[in-house]
Amino acid sequence: MASLQVEAQVEESSRVPPVEVDESDQAHRGRSRSPRRDTAQRPAAEAEKNATAPIAPIYLLPASYPSYAEVRPGNWISKQVGKSSQGAPTVCIYDSTTRSSPVFCLYEKNSDQCGTIVFPLEPHKDAVRPSFMTGAEPTRKVESLDLTMTIEEDQLRFVREVDEWCKKQAFENSKEWFGRACSATEIEVMYTSPLKVDESGKYPPHVKAKMNLYGIDKFLTRVVVVQANGVPEEGAGWDFVEPRLGEHKWRAHRARMVLEARRIWVVNKRFGLTYSITDLAVREKAEMRPNPFATDSTVEALASLPSS
């Protein structure tokens, strides 16, 4: 296994905070604060030019990150760096070639490949609502919501390859992680995947990732919302995202995301890999029903009527 002499530097520079994993939902603990990072919109002339363009030409997510097609999970290594306050192993993931957590674009570069957001961006029915939605005192450095997006065949193969890598790590380190040597069959049962596949083929496969919405600025998911008229808005945090969710809370909106695979969580006899979204681009959907009065004289006719 490759040496990790630069581990301390890696931990300091990584975008996701090096904190313990919460055993209830693998969220981060610590103190939190609310950010506002809206940036200026592009000129109206450019917006009109791009009004009908797909996400790809309008906003290319950070070019420094490789596409998933360029990533080799076989180059990744796992390392237990300690234990949580509950005694669960803290397992970090590193790319042996970069000595940092793997970060990649879940789309093909120079293409119009986009996924579709499956569920509204909101807490699950039985989940504890984060403090930024309740007004309660924050107890974590970073708070997030799950975002689920459809993937295509090539992306599915890649995510499955990551799943197999994760299970291999658990099998090889089962005595340290779970207190005893486990068989490959046991590991298969114990693993919780972020990937969901409908075996009937009725629904497309989709992958779940954490969208960081509250906390220290540098750890938040950076967001670009491309409005229906083509104008992009950039920002981060719940204060930026919430007023832009719309009626359906981004459900069925087209999107792209950049993912980071930083930790393998271990809770009792279960384990899994949680993706964090470092960057997200969402295309706003046009109004489902057009305004019938926009192209006739209705407004003018009503305006000319006496007020009483």
- Among the listed ranges 79-88, 93-102, 271-280, which one has the minimum average pLDDT value? 79-88
Q: Does the residue 227 lie in any domain?
A: yes
At residue 127, φ and ψ (nearest 5 deg) are: -80, 155
**Domain extent at residue 169:** 26-287
Is the separation of the CB atoms in 263 and 93 below 8 Å? Answer: yes
The whole-number pLDDT of residue 16 equals 44
User: pLDDT tens for residues 134-182?
Assistant: 999 888 889 999 999 999 999 999 999 999 999 999 999 999 999 999 9
Q: Does the residue 298 lie in any domain?
A: no
Q: Does the residue 133 lie in any domain?
A: yes
| Per-residue DSSP letter, 28 | B
The whole-number pLDDT of residue 287 equals 65
Bridge partners of 248, per DSSP, are: none
Q: Does the residue 11 lie in any domain?
A: no
The whole-number pLDDT of residue 288 equals 60
Q: In terms of DSSP H, where are the helices of 200-293?
A: 238-241
The whole-number pLDDT of residue 53 equals 43
Split at pLDDT 50, 70, 90, the class of 11 is: very low
User: pLDDT tens for residues 221-264?
Assistant: 999 999 988 999 999 999 999 999 999 999 999 999 999 999 99
Q: Does the residue 243 lie in any domain?
A: yes
Q: Does the residue 303 lie in any domain?
A: no
Is the separation of the CB atoms in 255 and 282 below 8 Å? Answer: yes
pLDDT more than 70, % of the chain:
78
The whole-number pLDDT of residue 303 equals 86
For the chain, the domain total comes to 1
Q: Does the residue 223 lie in any domain?
A: yes
pLDDT more than 90, % of the chain:
63
- Among the listed ranges 23-27, 131-135, 242-246, 283-287, which one has the minimum average pLDDT value? 23-27
Q: Which of 68, 159, 161, 162 is nearest to 113 (CA)?
A: 68
Q: Does the residue 9 lie in any domain?
A: no
